Structure 1
Amino acid sequence: MGKSLVPPGGGDDDNIEPVDLKKALEERYLAYALSTIMNRALPDVRDGLKPVHRRIVHAMRLLRLNPDQGFAKCARIVGEVMGKFHPHGDQSIYDALVRLAQDFSVRYPLVDGQGNFGNIDGDNAAAMRYTEARMTDVSVLLLEGITEDAVDFRPTYNEEDEEPSVLPGAFPNLLANGSSGIAVGMATSIPPHNAAELCDAALHLIENPGATVARLVEFVQGPDFPTGGIIVDSRASILEAYETGRGSFRVRAKWHQEDQGRGTWHLVVTEIPYGVQKARLIEKTAELLMARKLPLLEDIRDESAEDIRIVLVPKSRSVDPGLLMESLFKLTELESRFPLNMNVLSRGKVPNVLSLKDVLREWLEHRREVLVRRSRHRLGEIERRLEILGGYLIAYLNIDEVIRIIREEDEPKQVMMARWDLTDTQAEAILNMRLRALRKLEEFEIRKEFDGLSAEKSQIEALLASEAKQWATIKWEIGKVREEYGPETDIGRRRTEFADAPEVDLDDIAQAMIEREPVTIVVSEKGWLRALKGHLSDTSALSFKEGDALKLAFHAQTTDKLLLFTTGGKFYTIGADRLPGGRGHGEPVRIIVDMENDQDIVTAFVHDAGRKLLLVSHQGNGFVVPETEVVANTRKGRQVMNVKTPDEARMCLPVEGDHVAIVGENRKMLVFPLSEIPEMTRGKGVRLQKYKDGGVLDLKTFALESGLSWQDSADRTFVRTREELLEWIGNRAAAGRMVPKGFPRTGKFG
């Protein structure tokens, strides 16, 4: 009979248990989070492997895929891993296997691949039925001693087999190959490092357990990426990252200049940052080129074969190569950041962010534990063998009697045990002896082996009794690894270099990223902005929305910064390249910057860092401000002049000459020295002219020597000399006198 589909209790509701949803979710989500952290995403600090990688290496050992044997199909390896150890998809296992074989992904590959294992352009590996693999020497080091009870084994997922819970790890794999993973609520990201440097640091740590991270960083300079590149971080920030276990590294591409003859040149990139796909990098750069975001660059070509060779062609030979590269570093993945987050399973159980010293210390403690366990295992083997050899010696001394007992007795084993006081193991070994072992020489061989093993036994016992001897052995083991992967070997030499990022003016880079073209900036009365191509001399043909008209127009270059001054006393900065083109009416200023609704534009002009500006409010307050102090870096702008309603900012003009002429709405004019106006970076300013009612109408700065000039409605220019102006010259904040004869009716200087 099949399973009953009726729930217990005959289908009534008695057996339904109410469950608190919050509690149920918490329990289940916590269980999922823990399994992800422990069994998927975080590496073990001792062997630097996640379970999938450990299972792949273990399965390859069982398949006897040693570096000196033949290859096996990857499908065979993946099948073995999936069937016995890793109950997940075959593709995820194969992807992990492929990555372990890629010399551009892993600093010291654990798998030796044959066939297409993908490339740095981001192409995938061939299907697992076409590719083959075997272990590398690094894998052999990680497994060293696994058959000698060096580590614990645990049942596999179906409890049919056993798998190691961690590998013996005679190679500093966690830091040498790095790791990255995202669990639930925590992530890890460890860059690859140089194995020889790690061995040096570990040896130093054995001798000086109290060594600081700062001292260890003298050995471990920083990451050593398989793809090379240049790290441009300061030593201080690298040290802090290793002390806290968190930080990041700025990695730049390596490039050089190649002379093409007749003064022309190309730049050639030979190493790109780690983890960047070359094809995607070139594609993105080409897109920026098409979008005219890289005006210094003419073309980009990929001439790579086995090695990387990306050719950058400059717009002209006068381009500064450093500036070209800085603009590329800023916009493309030729510079990238690699995060450091040493979040690993400490002692294989607890997720923890460790410092460089902690990671090395835990690895060394694991190596010591492995050494002790292997030594104890060997000791047990020796003791068993010595017991058997002792039995053999007794047998040889009484060989004829032994043969007689075996031939004549019904229970030879019991008789021999009673006769010579043998143990069960010894008697069994004698009974299982072959006839050919009864030669004369054999006794000598047995004595020799017995003495040799006895000496080894006393050595191991001495090792187990002395911590100093254990550390000496570990030093010798690490020394061997360092020799094998030393800086003089091909795989061991450092690939990533260190350099200081060249000091480049950010403004220069910003300029370099914009194509320089002449434009005419048009501002309408209602605050609509646009940039027309070219320098237009006639603005009368411009069209505006109904009820709107031209407020001002001026010439600029796309590389210029524009400053906008509003009635609220705020300055806004806009890049001329950001303005909409000449088609249509442009865009309202409030879309481009965060300008308050009750404010209007007073004026706009091209930023010139060398000038000073005179700001004046309607009520006649004002001050001088250097133009560099009013540049705003955000959309919110910069409050420079403090005005309270009903007052508002009215004028902003560049300072020239040494005197100021100011005219009020009451047509009174006052002339006073410019030096009486203070220079400030922000404030209300000081009173320039006194009014009973009304406010300021116009203002001009001029050189007294040359006289004050103005234009009337017929465009005639009048100049008043110093002597003619005497009666208007006074002190700041005076009321002034009625304007001179011939002054324009508008009350403005023209």
Structure 2
Amino acid sequence: MDNTTNENYFINGKQKITPMDIGDRMEEAFLAYAMSVIVARALPDVRDGLKPVHRRILYTMYEKGLTPDKAYHKCADTVGSVLGSYHPHGDASVYDALVRLAQTFSMRYVLVDGQGNFGSVDGDPPAAYRYTEARMSKIATEMLTDIHKETVPFVPNYDDRLKEPAVLPSRFPNILVNGSIGIAVGMATNIPPHNLGEVIDGIHMLIQNPDCTMDELMTCIQGPDFPTGGIIMGRSGIRAAYGTGRGKITLRGQTHFEKVRGRESIVITEIPYMVNKARLVESIASLAKDKRIEGIYHIQDESSREGMRIVVELKKDANQQIVLNKLFSYTQLQDTVSVNMLALVDGEPKTLSLKQVLEHYLQFQVEVITNRTKFDLEKAKKRAHILQGFVVAIDYIDEVIAILRSSKTIPEGKARLIERFKEVDMSALLDRAQYDVEHYHLEHQIGLSEEQAEAIVQMRLGALTGMERQKVTDELYGLMQKITDLLDILADRSRIYQIIEDDLSEIRRKYGDVRRTQIEMVDGEVDIEDLIPVEDCVVTYTDSGYIKRIPADVYKSQRRGGRGVTGMKQREEDFVSELLISSSHANILFISNLGIMYKLKCYELPEGSKNARGTNIVNLLPLNQGEKIAAVLTTPDFDESKYVVMITRSGKIKRTALSAYKNVRKNGLIAIGLDEGDEIAAVRLTDGFNRLFVATRNGMAIRIDEQDVRPMSRSAHGVKAITLRDGDAVVSMAREREGASLLTVSENGYGRRTALDEYRMQSRGGLGLTNYKVDEEHGHVCGIKVVDETDDIMFISSDGVIIRVPCEQIRLMGRTAKGVRVMRVSEGQKVVAFTRAEAAQEEDMPAEETDAETVSDIEASESSINDENTSAEE
């Protein structure tokens, strides 16, 4: 027959045969079959991480009450219930799935608590289901929490007799926690298990910072965590799997060297995931017998209830490391785990990255919490409606009894009650202070409904007592508050996220454990951060927004008063405004004039030579129109015990926990609320117990206790630190250190150290003490810094010249002294920034390059010491 014809064949005037292409028909039938296998059998749903058979097993156990607090139940009965109610396939498929859910070597957190023989890591099969018993594990109950509250959709079962959940509420991300393995038609999935605590930390990070990167997520979720432990070799496979959804992970068993029965031995205590231990032992023995691995004397499996232990005894002349390397090469002691994060998203198979999996789960949990809240709200409203009817009945009880006694039938009695109480002022019956109808969204004027009349008819006589009336009103007031809270949750997405975080934190507290699988770096593979050497760097930032980093050892120590070396070539009218020493792996925090914080790693800043101008910050940070960086801070971590203290030009100070700035988004994070016209003057890191010095441009300073400033939120505006006179502004802030002194530097290159005791403690908000007598020769105060004699000080002028001076060369003087020349600046230039650095090896300059005026400068400065206090000091 010609397969291409469209002609219909008729017999006795009736159509009997419709020709069609057998290839097209086969394709249609196969696609239908394939999609059925993909959706209904082989692939997990991204929301709960379960295949249909696993979901049906857990739901059946939930229906039968097989919870952890109940007795074990025969698996045969559970399998039969699953088959009869929900799963139209063979009993073997159901029992095999149930067994896997109970195997501690297959599941990172078992969902079925089994009793009996459920197989072993040696590949032994489980006992028949008529012998074994099972019930839900404790963590499995979290998979079904609130399922009766219409949190998930239900669909008809295979014969439309019953309803089954299309997905479980899954209050923890089971898709990653336990992973999944499945082979469908033309595709397969292999999602490795993970540590519960790490995955929950990843969810927290995603909630707090939706724009977080994969690298940021990997600070929480380090990699897969297999139930059998082992060692993951390298992170490249993990990165590929998390970034693209596909990757290969090299997994080794855990081994150590030990002397057993007088011989050097290799002891294996953990093997790679899904490796059959008995076959591994057999393969090692076979390789030793065939002389493919030399040096093995004897192998014995000494595993017991206490754990796995395979002892490979070596010959006396064998090299332990060589034998171990051959075991890794020739056996499954080192295995490759292929990761393919394929799951069903809205019924379609999709390969997902780590962040996409977490986003889909988080979106699902928002739906679950929203549905649960709507259910509780509707239930509370219905109950409150009935209670309102009870209040009416109790307050008019004589009239209600008279109506019911005079009615011939119950329907007639209900009708007369509804007619009589067409309109009732509820606020007149209840405490007006508690019954705020607008606030609690309940009716002020009510008429009895059919439901309320029915409830009144069914009331017990005991409910007429005064105590029962009080119980009714108390319950009604409680419901009104609950209704308001539920409405607030539905109106505020942030509250839903907080509920999700709280629930996950509680699950982590109850079921979290330590990581079992180690992750080790391998030769030839390093993280991007490991490619960067850990070294101290000088970070400079100019007023025009150019930034660069230079290794700190480029600047060798010179004698004070010298001219320094050129730090960078700049455009006219540009100067360095920030200078700091940072580790190449530290975090660099940028605070803008608009009070926004940005974050970069130090090694992400462009490295430049001494003469290079650097890169404009707009190429590194997403600054808005009119926004510029006002302060730069460096920190190696975000320790919860540390604080960020900010001082503004107008003298306002604010203290916030450093941990509040941990998750800085790419587009920045609010660091401080600023008044109009104000801007950041200085930012410092503290330990919460520091004493602080605040200095002004016109030479005033105040010493205050950090604890006088209460911790505030990120967006707070702060409180007054120092009262400023007209024309004055805060220029700097420093932290007190024991055994140190306060270095004050003027814009014209003069500086002096002063003992900290010369500055008495004052209350926050005062005028302060005279710190420096400003005049035309020495210039205004550039800034202050707490230093000691072991430090070096790096100064930079507005024309980009940098000098590094040992602190011990700067004389210790009185509080009002003018100081000595620490840097000679060119005409029209000034010192714009300086910072403290660890002391470097001093390199003496040639005699002809030293400054002859230095000695006379010192003498002149010493003679100008004046201990008199100004009126401000009073």
TM-score by length of 2: 0.55
Alignment correspondent of 1:288: 287
The offset of 1:445, in angstroms, is 0.3
CA distance in 2, matches of 1:321, 1:192: 32
Q: Give the 3 Å change call, closer, same or farther, for CA 501–315 of structure 1 in structure 2.
A: farther
The offset of 1:485, in angstroms, is 2.7
CA distance in 2, matches of 1:83, 1:389: 43
2:42·2:182 contact (CA, 8 Å) conserved in 1?
A: yes
Alignment correspondent of 1:131: 132
Q: Deviations over 1:144-192 (max 9, x none)?
A: 1100010000000100000000011101101110101111111100111
The offset of 1:468, in angstroms, is 1.3
2:248·2:339 contact (CA, 8 Å) conserved in 1?
A: yes
- Aligned residue identity for 1:292: K
CA distance in 1, matches of 2:260, 2:64: 55
Q: Deviations over 1:472-522 (max 9, x none)?
A: 111111111221233xxxxx111111123579xxxxxxxxxxxxxxxxxxx
Alignment correspondent of 1:349: 347
1:149·1:373 contact (CA, 8 Å) conserved in 2?
A: yes
Correspondence 1:203 to 2:204 = yes
Matched position secondary structure for 1:305? coil
CA distance in 2, matches of 1:11, 1:247: 64
1:71·1:134 contact (CA, 8 Å) conserved in 2?
A: yes
Q: Which aligned runs of 4 or more in structure 1 are off by greater than 6 angstroms?
A: 8-13
Matched position secondary structure for 2:143? helix
CA distance in 2, matches of 1:122, 1:245: 29
Alignment correspondent of 2:753: none
CA distance in 2, matches of 1:162, 1:412: 39
Alignment correspondent of 2:474: 448
The offset of 1:19, in angstroms, is 2.6
CA distance in 2, matches of 1:439, 1:248: 73
- Aligned residue identity for 2:309: R
Alignment correspondent of 2:269: 270
Select the residue among 383, 387, 390 that pairs with 1:389.
Answer: 387
Alignment correspondent of 2:711: none
Alignment correspondent of 1:494: 515
Matched position secondary structure for 1:15? strand
1:390-539 counterparts in 2 under 5 A?
390-410=388-408, 411-421=412-422, 422-486=448-512, 492-501=513-522
CA distance in 1, matches of 2:523, 2:24: 56
- Aligned residue identity for 1:130: Y
Alignment correspondent of 1:664: none
Matched position secondary structure for 2:312? strand
Matched position secondary structure for 2:313? strand
Alignment correspondent of 1:319: 318
The offset of 1:259, in angstroms, is 1.9
Alignment correspondent of 1:245: 245
- Aligned residue identity for 1:472: Q
The offset of 1:241, in angstroms, is 2.0
1:222·1:238 contact (CA, 8 Å) conserved in 2?
A: yes
- Aligned residue identity for 1:440: G
CA distance in 1, matches of 2:250, 2:12: 65
2:193·2:224 contact (CA, 8 Å) conserved in 1?
A: yes
Q: Give the 3 Å change call, closer, same or farther, for CA 278–260 of structure 1 in structure 2.
A: closer
Q: Deviations over 1:25-82 (max 9, x none)?
A: 1111110111111111110011000000000000000000111111111111111111
Matched position secondary structure for 1:249? strand
CA RMSD of aligned residues (A): 1.7
Alignment correspondent of 1:742: none
Alignment correspondent of 1:61: 62
CA distance in 1, matches of 2:379, 2:54: 31
The offset of 1:9, in angstroms, is 9.9
Higher Cα radius of gyration: 1
Alignment correspondent of 1:90: 91
Q: Give the 3 Å change call, closer, same or farther, for CA 310–402 of structure 1 in structure 2.
A: same
The offset of 1:438, in angstroms, is 2.6
1:270·1:308 contact (CA, 8 Å) conserved in 2?
A: yes
1:151·1:166 contact (CA, 8 Å) conserved in 2?
A: yes
1:101·1:109 contact (CA, 8 Å) conserved in 2?
A: yes
- Aligned residue identity for 1:495: R
CA distance in 1, matches of 2:260, 2:124: 32
Q: Give the 3 Å change call, closer, same or farther, for CA 244–10 of structure 1 in structure 2.
A: same
2:463·2:469 contact (CA, 8 Å) conserved in 1?
A: no
More deviation, 211-220/297-306: 297-306
Correspondence 1:173 to 2:174 = yes
The number of equivalent residue pairs is: 487
1:217-232 counterparts in 2 under 5 A?
217-232=218-233
Alignment correspondent of 1:371: 369
The offset of 1:261, in angstroms, is 7.1
Q: Deviations over 1:285-319 (max 9, x none)?
A: 22222222111212211111121111101122x32
- Aligned residue identity for 2:121: I
Percent identity over the alignment?
Answer: 45
Q: Deviations over 1:377-428 (max 9, x none)?
A: 1000011001100000000011122122222212101000111121011011
The offset of 1:13, in angstroms, is 8.6
Alignment correspondent of 1:153: 154
CA distance in 1, matches of 2:343, 2:328: 32
CA distance in 1, matches of 2:67, 2:10: 60
Matched position secondary structure for 2:201? helix
1:138·1:171 contact (CA, 8 Å) conserved in 2?
A: no
CA distance in 2, matches of 1:291, 1:79: 49
2:294·2:323 contact (CA, 8 Å) conserved in 1?
A: no
Matched position secondary structure for 2:142? helix
Q: Deviations over 1:664-685 (max 9, x none)?
A: xxxxxxxxxxxxxxxxxxxxxx
CA distance in 2, matches of 1:10, 1:72: 62
2:241·2:341 contact (CA, 8 Å) conserved in 1?
A: no
CA distance in 1, matches of 2:268, 2:186: 38
- Aligned residue identity for 1:84: S
Q: Give the 3 Å change call, closer, same or farther, for CA 445–313 of structure 1 in structure 2.
A: same
CA distance in 2, matches of 1:322, 1:250: 19
More deviation, 403-412/166-175: 403-412
1:610-649 counterparts in 2 under 5 A?
none
More deviation, 240-249/153-162: 240-249
Correspondence 1:140 to 2:141 = yes
Q: Deviations over 1:718-746 (max 9, x none)?
A: xxxxxxxxxxxxxxxxxxxxxxxxxxxxx
Correspondence 1:361 to 2:359 = yes
Q: Give the 3 Å change call, closer, same or farther, for CA 99–501 of structure 1 in structure 2.
A: same
1:246·1:340 contact (CA, 8 Å) conserved in 2?
A: yes
Matched position secondary structure for 2:300? strand
Q: Deviations over 1:214-247 (max 9, x none)?
A: 11011111110000111112x2432222101100
Q: Deviations over 1:622-655 (max 9, x none)?
A: xxxxxxxxxxxxxxxxxxxxxxxxxxxxxxxxxx
- Aligned residue identity for 2:517: T
Matched position secondary structure for 1:377? helix
More deviation, 9-18/41-50: 9-18
Alignment correspondent of 2:818: none
Alignment correspondent of 2:726: none
1:199·1:478 contact (CA, 8 Å) conserved in 2?
A: yes
Matched position secondary structure for 1:265? strand
Matched position secondary structure for 2:223? coil
- Aligned residue identity for 1:243: G
CA distance in 1, matches of 2:271, 2:12: 67
Alignment correspondent of 2:106: 105
The offset of 1:11, in angstroms, is 10
CA distance in 2, matches of 1:9, 1:23: 23
Alignment correspondent of 2:437: none
